[in-house]
Structure 1
Amino acid sequence: MSDKPVIGFIGVGLMGHGMAKNLLQAGYPLVVKGNRNRAPVDDLVGMGATEATSPKEMAQQCDIIHICLSNSPQVEGVIRGPDGILAGAREGLIVIDASTADPNSTLALAEELAGKGATMVDAPLGRTPKEAEEGTLDVMVGCDPATFDKIRPVIDCWGGNVNHMGPTGNGHKMKLLMNFVSMGYASLYAEATVLGAKAGIAPAQFRDVIGSSRLANGFFDTFMRYTVDRDRDAHKFAVANAAKDLRYVNAMAMEAGMVNVMSSAALQYFAHVEAIGKGQDYVPMISDHVARLCGVDMEEEAKKGR
């Protein structure tokens, strides 16, 4: 019989599968709740996880529950639904929301869980499914210090760069700032690459110069690995999720009462791609859409100078 806490995991998709796998490999008893895609659930069950029929059932069995979903309405559904976590919550339960969510929603859910003696932790993620599988994700944690000390060994199973940001809600606020920067980069890189192509600078040349300068960074590398090398899996993060995050950023800025010219501008390319029905394209593919708007075939431009 394990002396480790029983861990639940809701949302074992691109990011969640690797995180859950690492918890299993660290010896934690794991209970999973799947969605339409059975493959990751079946894979984890094959490694020793058990499957819950509902979030309520999971809350009744588990000491700590992870949620890794796409947006706040989905998180609210698994917590507040008729068979949700609140329906089965008990004293001492800890819910770790690794989604990128609206901080106001997070704070409301935290209050509701506290009414059942449970604790809400926001621990959104940075990096990609590759790092999720490797257990080296960036993590921004919002909770009280005592809870952070209690969950740190669990988070260390799937997180590499773990930062305690302060009280509940601050993790999601920091994650929105991170995604504002990264999606701002995506918009900037796409527009600059297309402008270069229109002006006679091949995308490969643009990458060589920027990539070898002090302006280089990991996000630039993965963005250009698609834009120039056409590696579709270079950064598996959907445009729809990026657009959602930028909307949350704009709402946070409005609530803070500040001018937000850059975050408003960054949203526009992503909103366009959603509007034409391509929201499931990955973020680096923004470069193709910006190119089409400007009469450029990025597939052909990418061949130049490679």
Structure 2
Amino acid sequence: MDVKEEDSNMQKLAFIGLGNMGMPMARNLVQAGYYVYGLNRSKAKEDNFEELGGQRAESLAHIAENADVIMTCLPQPEDVEQMLIGDNGLLQMNIKTPLIIDFSTVSPSLHVRIAKEASARGARYLDAPVSGGTAGAESGTLAIMCGGEEVAFEEAKPIFDVLGKNITHTGPVGNGTKVKLINQYMVGMHTVAVGEALHLADQSGIDKSLLYSVLSNGFAQSKIFDRHYGDFISENKDEPGFALDLLLKDLGLADDMADESNVSLKAGDFVRSLFQQADENGYGKKDMSALYQYVKHIEN
């Protein structure tokens, strides 16, 4: 869609962070007919976004002054903090008082801080972490867990409907991320279970494809088992759909959340330490399913 900014009266969106998740999400919004600015640290990604029909953002300040809805999807908490409330961040600029939606996975307390600053500037803020990986981002079938005021959630719902299929308003700002971190805690647990179970199969002479076929029809079936074995391990792929070091980051955030809630995640301590060791041994930039490779490595 070739839409000239000066001729367009349509709602203008901005998407900051055109990575493995952000690019297909922003593309889906363009394909749904939205006018979307794209901003990314790597300018090559902005070139790609233009080729997909998006609009290259002139600058963060241009987004602040022109976008009705601003979305961020960034890898680390410090990236989100710097982009939104840092010294040169969005909320220090002359903003149009938009709706701001963060799809990243950071800490609930950071979302509360950002929401307070956004409110002081007349903006509405939602934390809306997603689950479903790159496949869900590509197909527009993400699960979206959204925290914030209900009126802002309803305002964002048409956008969410383009990006996901399981969309839940979880309550106040920060609650979306609390649900996501519990999700990631369980993803980490299941990932370790898959890695160790497949290694046990290897060492005991059981064919992995046979094991997968049998267990997938019983109580051991899980989406993580389907994903890790079906899409990565059986295909000898470890190019990241979701990198191991990003799951390690999320497990750390879940541990922080547990501390703040006076909860001891005893099994989680072991899981996080195993991911930490895998990261330190060079597996961090591989797909999270590569924990299976690390489990085999430390046994040999």
What's 1:7 paired with? 13
Cα distance in 2 for residues equivalent to 1:143 and 1:293: 44
Cα distance in 1 for residues equivalent to 2:94 and 2:102: 15
Task: Please list, as runs of the form range in 1=range in 2, the aligned pairs for 1:50-129 lying within 5 A after superposition.
Answer: 50-90=55-95, 92-129=97-134
Answer yes or no: is the 8 Å Cα contact 1:91–1:116 preserved in 2.
no
Percent identity, aligned pairs only? 28
1:277 partner SS = helix
Gaps of 5+ in 2: 1-6
Cα distance in 2 for residues equivalent to 1:84 and 1:182: 32
What's 2:170 paired with? 165
Cα distance in 2 for residues equivalent to 1:55 and 1:261: 43
Cα distance in 1 for residues equivalent to 2:70 and 2:94: 10
Calculate the TM-score normalised by the size of structure 2. 0.92
Aligned residues: 293
RMSD: 1.7
Shift of 1:57: 2.5
Shift of 1:251: 0.5
Letter in 1 for 2:27: K
What's 2:294 paired with? 289
**What does the per-residue CA deviation read over 1:55-89, in whole Å, with 9 as the maximum and x for residues that have no partner?**
23211111111100112111001112343211225
Shift of 1:247: 0.2
Letter in 1 for 2:99: I
Residue 181 of structure 2, aligned match among 176, 181, 188: 176
Alignment of 1:19 onto 2:25: yes
Cα distance in 2 for residues equivalent to 1:88 and 1:136: 34
Greater mean alpha carbon deviation, residues 91-100 or residues 253-262: 91-100
Cα distance in 2 for residues equivalent to 1:228 and 1:30: 38
**What does the per-residue CA deviation read over 1:38-67, in whole Å, with 9 as the maximum and x for residues that have no partner?**
1x3212213432222432321111111110
Letter in 2 for 1:21: R
Alignment of 1:261 onto 2:261: no
Letter in 1 for 2:130: L
Q: Cα gap change, 1:228/1:45 in structure 2, threshold over 3 Å: closer, same or farther?
A: closer
Residue 244 of structure 2, aligned match among 239, 243, 246: 239
Calculate the TM-score normalised by the size of structure 1. 0.90
2:283 partner SS = coil
Q: Cα gap change, 1:149/1:89 in structure 2, threshold over 3 Å: closer, same or farther?
A: farther
Cα distance in 2 for residues equivalent to 1:181 and 1:136: 20
Cα distance in 1 for residues equivalent to 2:166 and 2:88: 34
**What does the per-residue CA deviation read over 1:166-195, in whole Å, with 9 as the maximum and x for residues that have no partner?**
111011111101111111100111112212
Letter in 1 for 2:46: V
Alignment of 1:156 onto 2:161: yes
Letter in 1 for 2:150: P
Shift of 1:207: 1.4
Task: Please list, as runs of the form range in 1=range in 2, the aligned pairs for 1:267-306 lying within 5 A after superposition.
Answer: 267-295=272-300
Task: Please list, as runs of the form range in 1=range in 2, the aligned pairs for 1:129-208 lying within 5 A after superposition.
Answer: 129-208=134-213
Greater mean alpha carbon deviation, residues 200-209 or residues 271-280: 200-209
Residue 236 of structure 2, aligned match among 227, 230, 241: 230
Answer yes or no: is the 8 Å Cα contact 2:147–2:177 preserved in 1.
yes
Answer yes or no: is the 8 Å Cα contact 2:145–2:179 preserved in 1.
yes
2:282 partner SS = coil
Cα distance in 2 for residues equivalent to 1:197 and 1:134: 34
